[in-house]
Amino acid sequence: MTVLGIEVSPALLAHWVDWLAPEVQPFYVTRQQAKQWDLVTDDREPTREQRDTYRVYRLDSSATHVAWLDEPTYAALPTATRAALVRAQVRHNRGVVPTVRRWHTALGPEIRQQADGHRFVWWKPLLEDRAELVLPQVVSEDIGPSRHTEVREWPSTLPRVRELAGTFAAGSGPNCFGTVMAAAGVEGADQVWMMREPFEEWLAGNTVPRGRDDVPGTVFVWRNLNGLVQHAAITIGGGWMLHKPSQSWMTPRKIRTVAEVKRSTRTAGWRLERRRLSL
């Protein structure tokens, strides 16, 4: 199976199914909603994959309680409660609460009965025999493909860039900072959630200010108004760049043009600086 121009193994697809539709899912509610709908809540921490699937970092601040429900428990809730609960997930900015309108042709009319008739949540039975249809669409939403097959010459100065280009990580965590460091030869950097501090240390010790967009080894660093690094990518020559849009399991390490990366990363309050490898 190919997603965003990248081959996806059956084993990775099976993991994606688990991460999109885990057996037990978090539903985010206020204290009042939990009481009104008679929901049992607890403070267990989501896994990294759940954090990214449900975009926990974007939740409304009022959703301070979490009800962890499996499908039978969810289905046993009164219809009105399920409908209200799903609508609340949309209001609280929980991720992957898809619309019936988008998916009813592929999944059938029964998804209208799951909640309020307009929204639903993913459970594994919905993905049976449909994973190869659903997952590519979910993963590729709002993100451009990797263009690694268009690259004609790979730079010898970036020893691992060809290996990394056009690959998905084995889960959530690996991010843009580690991808840049790994491309420059830092062993294991592509497998971990690289924090700002070690990335800044590497940047200070292995790069110097300025660089050119058309040559390999120019590190693009985006910082916010407080100077904190927010994103990074690295040029590979010929107008191409390697970058990983986020730490999510859904975002690959991909090749895009310098112009495409700059355009997709443009964010109010961020400024771009360039540094070149000094190795």
Q: What pLDDT sits at residue 181?
A: 98
Q: Is the pLDDT of residue 30 over 80?
A: yes
> Are residues 255 and 242 in contact, defined by beta-carbon separation less than 8 angstroms?
yes
User: What are the pLDDT digits (tens) for 226-273?
Assistant: 999 999 999 999 999 999 999 999 999 999 999 999 999 999 999 999
The amino acid occupying position 260 is: E
Non-local (6+) Cβ contacts of 36 within 8 A are none
Q: What pLDDT sits at residue 230?
A: 98
**Across residues 5-9, what is the average pLDDT?**
97
Burial 85-109 (b: 16+ CB within 10 A, else e): bbebbeebbbbbbbebeebeeebee
User: What are the pLDDT digits (tens) for 163-197?
Assistant: 999 999 999 999 999 999 999 999 999 999 999 99
Given pLDDT bands bounded at 50, 70 and 90, which one contains residue 156?
very high
Q: What pLDDT sits at residue 142?
A: 84
The average confidence (pLDDT) of the chain is 97
Q: What pLDDT sits at residue 221?
A: 98
User: What are the pLDDT digits (tens) for 197-233?
Assistant: 999 999 999 999 999 999 999 999 999 999 999 999 9
Phi then psi for residue 163, to 5 deg, are -65, -40
d(CA 119, CA 91): 12
Q: What pLDDT sits at residue 80?
A: 97
The amino acid occupying position 167 is: T
Q: Which of 137, 151, 125 is nearest to 71 (CA)?
A: 125
Q: Is the pLDDT of residue 128 over 80?
A: yes
Given pLDDT bands bounded at 50, 70 and 90, which one contains residue 35?
very high
Non-local (6+) Cβ contacts of 255 within 8 A are 146, 147, 148, 150, 151, 165, 166, 236, 240, 241, 242
Domain architecture of the chain: domains with CATH? 2-139 (no CATH), 148-277 (3.90.1720)
d(CA 82, CA 75): 8
User: What are the pLDDT digits (tens) for 60-111?
Assistant: 999 999 999 999 999 999 999 999 999 999 999 999 999 999 999 999 999 9
What does pTM read for this prediction?
A: 0.94
**SS3 state of residue 187:** coil
